[in-house]
Amino acid sequence: MPLLTATRARRWLLPWALALGVLLNAAYPMYRHYDFSHSLDTRSYLRLASGRFDSVNVTRRYRVLVPVAAGLLARPLALLGDPPSSPRPAGEWPLRLAFYLLNSLLVGAAGACFFRSARLAGAAPVTAALALGLVLSSRWTAYMAGLPLTDSLYLLVFGLSYYAYRRGPGAGWAVAVALLVGPLAKESFVFLLPWLLWFGRGALSWRGQAAALALGLLALAAVHWWVDKAAGAPAAASVSNAFSHVENLWFSLRKVASLKGIAEIFSIWGLFWLPVAAALMRPDGRRALAPLLGWPEAGLALIVLLHMALSGDLGRMGYLFSPVFTAALALAGSWLGRVCGAAGPSRVR
């Protein structure tokens, strides 16, 4: 049993350490030099971390898990004092550092889920690790890890959900955590919920899912009551705000049809789209990607597209498809390696 426990720990700790190492380097410039003057989101989450709920837009007011945790972490960090060359206002540095550390840990945990999902899809350890590093090189990981935002937690929910589907029995804990945290991570979790309940049933029974979801919804109700009381806001405000996001649909459709929108989608993973696209264009490549060409991945893609349409932020929401894309990149990389290896000796002769 100790050997089994150590093996399981290595399966998670090694990819998590790899992801964390990449993130702490890649996100540091964003954490250190980002200009908040044009970012309402980051200013809002800094206010939440400081306990000021009344001055935060209703869209972000209830996403309190990461800001509250960052606020708690900032207290011991404040004892260190501001760095001598800090360009930030006095007292802001501990909060920014706390968000940077906490978000890097959460995105790193999501990365470990991406790696494990790729392995379960059939990727070799080396190609899965390489694919993870390439996916984490996206500008959106630096954005999520380096800034006072809450996207890291929602990305982890997507990572846990896809891992639970891939793992099946033995991954009930992943489904339970996703159902507990998901409602508080982001309101749009409601779109992921049916997918998770259906494709997660192999990991956690309907009864277990119902219990975890009930606890998650109770926690959400408690947070809404607490925040509404602290902010002095009517409870119906969050409902009307949710429906207002439908107005983004037309904006998103026009954006997708523009050159700027296409470039934004391409820039999610940049040139790393190309190995996957090349595999999809070849019969043997499609066979290599066959484990990912099913209804679960198609359903998750539709959910991500819905997130993109409702938010209008095509790149940031598109990055939520990273669990599947990491596995696709790993499998496409292995296929490409075989193709190049088969072609190499013939040219030498």
- Tell me if 123 sits within 8 A of 324, measured CB to CB: no
Average pLDDT on 4-16 reads 78
Confidence (pLDDT) at 106: 98
Reported as a single tens digit per residue, the pLDDT across 104-144 is 999 999 999 999 999 999 999 999 999 999 999 999 999 99
Helix (H, G, I), strand (E, B), or coil: what is residue 169? Answer: coil
Of the candidate ranges 47-61, 150-164, 305-319, the one whose mean pLDDT is the lowest? 47-61
pTM of the model: 0.91
- Tell me if 188 sits within 8 A of 243, measured CB to CB: no
Neighbours of 132 (CB within 10 A): 26
- Tell me if 103 sits within 8 A of 146, measured CB to CB: yes
Reported as a single tens digit per residue, the pLDDT across 71-111 is 999 999 888 776 666 555 656 889 999 999 999 999 999 99
Higher pLDDT, 317 or 262: 317
Residue 5 has pLDDT above 90, yes or no: no
Average pLDDT on 149-175 reads 96
CA-to-CA dists, residue 210 to 166, 205, 214, 221, 266, angstroms: 20, 9, 6, 16, 38
Our measurement of the distance from residue 237's CA atom to the centroid of its chain's CA atoms, rounded to an integer in Å, reads 27
Residue 283 has pLDDT above 70, yes or no: yes
Measured distance CA(109)–CA(129) in Å, rounded: 14
Reported as a single tens digit per residue, the pLDDT across 39-76 is 788 888 988 888 887 777 777 888 999 999 999 999 99
Residue 279 has pLDDT above 70, yes or no: yes
